[in-house]
Structure 1
Amino acid sequence: MSIQALHRAPGRGARPALDAVHGALDGVPAEGSVLDGSVLEGAVGPAVVLGEIDRAIRRLQGLRLRVIAEADEKQVADDSGMSSTSAWVAARSRTSGADASDDVRLAVALDGELAATRSALSEGRLSTEHAKVIATTAARLPEALAATERARIETSLVAAGERIDPERLRKVARRALALAERSVEETDTHEGEQLAAEEELAWQKCRFTLRHNDDGTSTGHFTVPRTAADILKKVVQQLASPKRLAAREQERGRALGLDTRGTEHRAATVVGEIDWQQRNGQAFAEILEHLPTERLHGKVAATVVVTVEHQKLVSGLGAAGMDTGSAMSIGQVRRLACEAGILPAVLDGDSVPLDLGRTKRHFQESQRVALATAYHECAAADCDRPYAWCDLHHEKPWSRGGRTDLADAVPLCGFHHRLVHGERHQTRIHRVGNRKVVTFRRRP
């Protein structure tokens, strides 16, 4: 049975709509500008066009999943002599078997009890990644939950997914029982159980392979738990940061007896042009070359800040937050605290002095660590450069009486830090939750 056979009746099903979509796309010029003068008149014009393209893609993805679900129900794969719907999807879509299996699972889940998610995806309000988060969360809910509670959780996650990206939605979904107005203890218990199960499964899935090439390089592949990956990523980011690259260029120049003036500017130019996969690969090689082989049982080389309420640490319920943006179970926190470089962010207790007032010109390392509990990237809107690369900027300039207090600190990557001190842009700083967000607008 072909896909056309699913929609034989003229004017019905997906085929006429798809023909119309292709016809409309054929009308877009293959070369030259796709943004006409009317669109370019306003600064938001191109953004609106891009947003509508993304919405159309999401709607088509929703339609694709509906086709897969119907093909699975009608056993199209069996009629085609294929072993499963996943194999049929992989062959027709030219995707990997693993991706095809994920698509089939999601399609079947959406075709079941997730009507609100299916509708939002069909209307382009959610992406398939959002839908996967909601479907996974629904599958892990306690069986004792009533249908009304499940519906309330789904509706809340759909509404949240329309405002935030899938990674943030995943964090909201960990506390799904709170959306059903269950008690804090029940929510903490469920969240901790889910994280503990994920951590155990992640440990079982650990893999490492290495193959030597004929050109002096080696190629490898690994699968490790998220916590270990976050530690590795943080170290690599610190080694590959633009500021460190500039420092190395200056050190190298001095060793060769060269004039190092302007090195930071030249390094910044190189950073703008460099292949970051290559730079991260070089940083990874540097890590391997400096592994402490004499004490392999010692502490890890990265400081990871874990924020946990004392009550949760004592009870063993709930989850702890990491400065990398991930979460871990309380059991994992207790284990790592015994053997790894974990720096606790003390809540409601004695801590390193963080507010230095006018006594210090520059922010201190203790303040950088404390701020890492709130920020994972640069504070500039839509900037994804990691916090490890950022300078701490005084919201009220030191020269104008500003204080070196934590409340006055704004983490900015090198690019946006230069921008905020430049003359070409107006800057606005506002709060979103416990973070500051910096937006820029070119001066007229």
Structure 2
Amino acid sequence: MDDLLAALDALAGEDLAPLFGPVLLDRLGPLLVAQNRLAAEVARTVRECEVSGAAEVDGLTSMGSWLRGHGHLSTAEAARVVRAGRALQHLPALAAFAAGAVTGEQAALIGRVAEPDQLARAAAQNVDLAAVDELLTDVAVTRPHADTAQAVQHYLDRLDADGPEPDPTEGRRLVMAKHADGSITGRFDLDAVGGERLQAALEAVVQAGRCAGDERTRAQRLADALVQLADNALASGGLPILRGHKPQVIVTIGIEDLADPATGRGAAQMGFGATISAARARWIACDGNITRIVIGPDGVPLDVGRSVRLVPPHLRRAAEVRDGGCVFAGCGAPTWWCDVHHLIAWIDGGETSLANSALLRERHHTKVHHGFRVERQPDGRWRTWRPDGTEIRTGPGRTGPPLVTAA
């Protein structure tokens, strides 16, 4: 083990900057093989730990929990390593894993055929498990990861062809983790039909939201679409009652921070505990309710004023009729995706009037609170400027450098 660590130290000490493409790829190939071999050794060791009950030394009952707590692996990754280790016991052809020709992910996929219930089905049907092992390992060695997953699933489906149709809701999972800055990451598992519904809904929003100059990655567009779906559901008013009220986004901020034009990081608290900046709170306030809460010296609310709709329904309807959708150059998202933005911020004295309003979808509403600017011309056309003062122009022949326009 000391020699292995010393070798890794030597590799880490090499300067890669002078190297170019072919040489780097020649270096990468053996590293991937070594990574697979290390993954195989980890899985083999985890399996022996599992058999011997080694996790109990640290007061734990399973190697999955040990890998999560001591190895800092995610729940899914810990389960994958445990499954790969178990597979090595029943699938000798997976020695290709130890040789570095199969990845840890592929080994865990193939390991599904060695789970106790699958082994029992195979034995009852006189399946030649050795042949299945060799076939799946050959696919893993010679084909992309997706082909391995498809081959394993095909085998499992054939193995249980006459079994009852599983309840699709039993396998559905959604796990979200909140970070210190209030952002959220997570993972989900859906059955084929549930996944198809989600993909159809997201793709509809993604395609409808495409506009000129959109440089977002596919992952960013999908994430924006997911947020837009949530916005649409909240705005519809048809969601179930939450804590005695219609579900809503709640932000609490002091009046000094709300009025101060500075960014004011960490100044506002959201309903589910996230902390955001005062600048972000001012953006949310563009199309929200303002409720005055007077706080006493001991931090206890003394008076809660009535909510004041900054943009009343009749004014929003007028903006919808006038603008027809998002006014940001090249967007055109429908009205029901849009917030009503104050061109001059309400906290800065801007009136809640049609002349001071603009419809903007969530993403572009964020943009105008980060330096972009929209302005309605006397002829009724909307124009959009970047933070550097250049105008965003769309249409045929507009692909060259943007024109510089006075801010």
TM tier, smaller: 0.3 to 0.5
* Structure with max Cα Rg: 2
Q: Which has the higher contact order (CA 8 A, sep 6+)?
A: 1
Give me the TM-score of the superposition, normalised by structure 2: 0.47
